[in-house]
Chains A and B, each alone.
Chain A
Amino acid sequence: MSSGLEDFSLFDLFRMEAEEQVRVLQSELIQLEAGVMTAARLEALMRASHSLKGAARIVGLDAVVHLTHAMEDRFVAAQAGAALDSADVDRMLAATDWLARLQAVPEAETAGWLETNAAAMESCAAGLRGGSADAAVDPTAVQESGGSTSSDPAAGIDTPIQKAAGDPQRKEPAAGGTKGPAGSIAEPKTTARGDRDDIFSQQGHEERATRERTVRLTTERFDHLLSLSAETLIGARQLAGWGDALDRNHRAIGTALQVMEDDTSTPEAKSAARRDVDRQVALLATQISDLDQASRSNEQIAERLYRAVLGGRLRPFSEGITGIPRLVRDTARELGKQVKLEIAGESTRVDRDILDKLESPLTHLVTNAIDHGIETPAEREAAGKTPEAHLLIQARHENGRLVITVRDDGHGIDVERIRERVVRRNLASADTVAGLSEAELLEFLFLPGFSTRETTSVLSGRGVGLNAVQSMVQEAGGAVTVTSHPGTGTTFRLTLPVTRSVIRVIRILVDGEVFSVPLVRIDRVAQFEPEMRDGNPMVTWNGRDHPVRVLATLLGFAEKPLAAGPLPLLFCGDFAFAVDRLMDQAELSVRRLDPRLGKIPGVSAASLDENGFPLLILDVDDLIQTAAGRPAHPPTAREADSGNPHILVVDDSHTVREMERRLLARSGYTVTTAQNGVEAWNLLRLNEYDLLISDVDMPQMNGIELVARVRGNPRLARLPVIILSYKDRGEDRRRGLEAGADFYLTKGAFDNGSFLQAVVDLIGEATPLTPGETP
């Protein structure tokens, strides 16, 4: 079979990856510049540049490797506390702009393009590296010089770009792109910032990203699909004809029966009618058997069509690793090592969605293996091994799962070194660490920023890789584990679903609603009678106690006590989930959830059942986390059930609103915002809030009116209210308090902390977010 990706050169693949990562870099940088510098954001930025660096190395774009390496360095420094000012962000954006430009260059012209621009790109990288040293550069001066600091080597950047701008091949990101790269994106940058901050357009942005996903099909396969769908169409039309025939049949029998029942009919007419009925009944019998046959053949065609469409998604594993041999060769050469790569199971079929997601983690693992695991030829010989190391990448199906192993025969992972690091980084006490098993210690490798390397190289050693690998594999619905044998090598094992498009599920009834649970995530299904231990329902299975949790309660439906007697239970992980009824098994095609709904706790995807009704697929990991009392996701404004007080902020100024939101979210409150009194009133009417914070001067309905309306409503009358206004005259204050506000604060209260104090006084403190969670 011909593959979809064979048609694409490595450069094309790099281009696709670069497109995505540049998008991440640019939007995150812009957010960073807007003053939202969070650990999560820096992590995302570092990862994007790290991934891009890996991809660029595969295609041998040294200039890009240097550029992304310099960016990554700055992000790592920022994580350690170094400052990133807007001049830095400008330089970084300039760098991403180079990457964006490179994407637009046809492959054949790349070499020439790189030659022309290499110097400028290098000086851009140098500017990034030097950026921390000349942090004192006035940002306004930087703006004027089109983004490149006039004092650093990057100033020379203008010339080649101006030349490049005249090149008809070039697609400039902005229309008037004759300035420096940063200058040319200055305009879209500001609008993008506005977009990101607006909750509506942000949603739209996510959706666009979802819609733009494409699938490549060969024309051969497409023709095959077309002919199959034509067959189903013919089948469907055949059925329509049947309706008419049955209708004639029905009418003939009706008429004949009428004649037979009519007393005025002659005996001849009656016997003729009886013969007619007999004939029609015989006809009906053949029609039923024909219909049966037609329905069977229709089902077959539909099944074939379905398999063909599904087959279009399954691709040989080899397609996902086209760049690996080159990567291994180049990396080994660069590090002065000898590596023999063996790839097994190349024809293993993998869903193309998963295949796409595999490339990056595999790149990380292979680079890691060569850099960290495999020794130099001299070291190997000294250890009694062959000078040439062996690196194996294997894909195979195992119990309906795709298992990929990456194994090297290097020196393995030094567990003592991990122990040392864990203690040094204060991740656990020395006592605890001493008691940890080897497998438990290896788990630390997947922590963000954890590395056993003392120095970082262009290749690896930042601790980004393994964490990125884990999250990418998890995103594809899989898991990654590592085993290591000192002296003989390390094995990474990635377990993934074969396809994400069709899964087998068990259907269950919860609070009168049908849900489905992926079969692979259920350990056992059984009817058991729970016994109460210390007031908690428990069941024992497989020699272990499993706490019983009512699924309806976990899903936020009715709070129901456990029914007496044996209950239908799903055993997943350490828990047994009680449901109303176990229904049946089914095969479902998985669809992503509407992005408008955000992440719904306990739900992973949606599907349609055989009657065309919507059916939600539950997220077992999420449910286990919730059952264990750990929030599976950091609380966001969307998740009002986080347990923290929920505050409604009303202000017509976007800036003030956003400032209040961030301030409160940072203190752990759940915040919803509204632009004016009318919007706020609608939200108050429909949702539960613990506190209302309102401005006074707003269009449509002002703050005083809003407060008066709240006080006049029986349900809301006792809701705490803070008025926050620029007006600080005594009469304004009196007017606000008379309307029913509990506090009247002027906007200066932000500075002296009295704003947060008033909130705490009224509704108490919230559990603050841990650093790293985005407010």
Chain B
Amino acid sequence: MNETERGSLFERPMPAGYRDELRALMAIDAPKRPASLESIFLFQLGPLRLALPTRVASAVSPVLHVARIPHRSGTVLLGLVAFRGEILPCFSLAQLLDVAQSETGSARMLILEEAPGRLWAAPIDAVVGIRTIPEQLSEEQGPLPAHWLRGSFNYQSRSFYILDHITLFRQITLATA
């Protein structure tokens, strides 16, 4: 085989439709990615089913002893609790959102992390679970004013309301100051 032949082997024209065939062979569908991977924590507070991002709802603990604070403990600020060796302010989410909490007393304490080292505790009635945030959120307001919410969705045939945590922390700070 001489030089000219070798060159012509590689330089010969492509058969008709070759390019399209190759493209069809090589093409792969891009994997479908869920719209959001943000996970949310679902819980119950009185009659409400609520959700918060898991990076905000950082832990759940059994009910903690709440020590009242002189001159401060009132409707929203309940007192201080000890959690993992830290002393945190504890507030009533039910009072803040103006919903009735179960009479029997709350079953769990939700620990919220506003920023690193800035934790809050709030009694809740039950933990429902953790899941990723649904792609489609409805605008349904339900029992809470719109500014508290990022949206709502259906889970296990019940409505859950995702709280807007920025508003929430702002209101906590205002109501406990």
Contacts and interface: CB of A to CB of B under 8 A. Distances in A.
Contact of B147 (A211, A638, A678): A678
Given A638-B177, A686-B175, A601 B117 contact: no
A614 B67 contact: yes
B69 A600 contact: yes
Nearest to A609: B82
Given A211-B117, A602-B70, A608-B85, A686 B173 contact: no
B82 A612 contact: yes
B175 A613 contact: no
A594 B87 contact: yes
A513 interface: yes
A722 to B, nearest CB: 21
Given A594-B80, A602-B71, 8 more contacts: A514-B67, A555-B70, A603-B69, A612-B82, A614-B87, A683-B174, A686-B76, A686-B96
Contacts of B65: 613-614
Given A211-B117, A613-B65, A596 B76 contact: no
Contacts of B74: 686-687
Interface string A192-228: 0000000110011001000100000000000000000
Interface residues of A, number: 40
Given A207-B118, A614-B82, A678-B147, A601 B87 contact: no
Nearest 4 pairs between A and B by C-beta? A555-B70, A556-B71, A614-B80, A614-B67
A601 B70 contact: yes
Interface in A569-623: 591, 594, 596-598, 600-603, 606, 608, 612-616
B131 interface: no
A594 B82 contact: no
Contacts of A555: 70-71
A106 B145 CA distance: 57
Contacts of A614: 65, 67, 79-82, 87
A2 interface: no
Contacts of A203: 173
Contacts of A457: none
Contacts of B141: none
A72 B118 CA distance: 38
Given A200-B173, A207-B117, A686-B175, A597 B89 contact: yes
A204 B115 CA distance: 10
A83 B82 CA distance: 50
B102 interface: no
Contacts of A598: 177
A453 interface: no
Interface in B129-147: 145, 147
Nearest to A611: B65
B85 A686 contact: no
A750 interface: no
B104 to A, nearest CB: 21
Contacts of B174: 674, 679, 682-683
Contacts of B87: 591, 594, 606, 608, 614
Interface of A: 199-200, 203-204, 207, 211, 513-514, 555-557, 591, 594, 596-598, 600-603, 606, 608, 612-616, 637-639, 641, 674, 678-679, 682-683, 685-687, 700
B108 interface: no
B19 interface: no
Contacts of B81: 614
- Most chain A C-beta atoms within 10 Å of own C-beta, residue among B80, B88, B173: B80
B175 A700 contact: no
Contact of A682 (B79, B88, B89, B175): B175
Interface of B: 65, 67-72, 74-76, 79-82, 85, 87-89, 95-96, 98, 115, 117-118, 145, 147, 170-171, 173-177
Nearest to B148: A678
B122 to A, nearest CB: 14
Nearest to B173: A200
Given A608-B85, A613-B65, A556 B175 contact: no
Contacts of A678: 145, 147
A630 to B, nearest CB: 16
Nearest to A602: B70
A600 B82 contact: no
Contact of B72 (A513, A600, A615, A685): A600
- Most chain A C-beta atoms within 10 Å of own C-beta, residue among B82, B96, B175: B82
B67 A615 contact: yes
A603 B70 contact: yes
Contact of B82 (A513, A556, A613, A637): A613
B145 A596 contact: no
A514 B79 CA distance: 13
Contacts of B171: 679, 682
Contacts of B170: 200
17 contacts: A200-B173, A207-B118, A514-B67, A556-B71, A557-B68, A594-B80, A594-B87, A594-B89, A597-B176, A601-B70, A606-B80, A608-B87, A614-B82, A678-B145, A678-B147, A686-B75, A700-B147
Contact of A608 (B76, B82, B175): B82
A600 B69 CA distance: 8
B100 to A, nearest CB: 14
Contact of B67 (A591, A613, A687): A613
Nearest to B72: A600
B67 A513 contact: yes
Nearest to A681: B145
Contacts of B69: 597, 600, 603, 616
Nearest to A208: B117
Nearest to A699: B147
A601 B71 contact: yes
A204 B116 CA distance: 11
Given A207-B118, A606-B87, A596 B71 contact: no
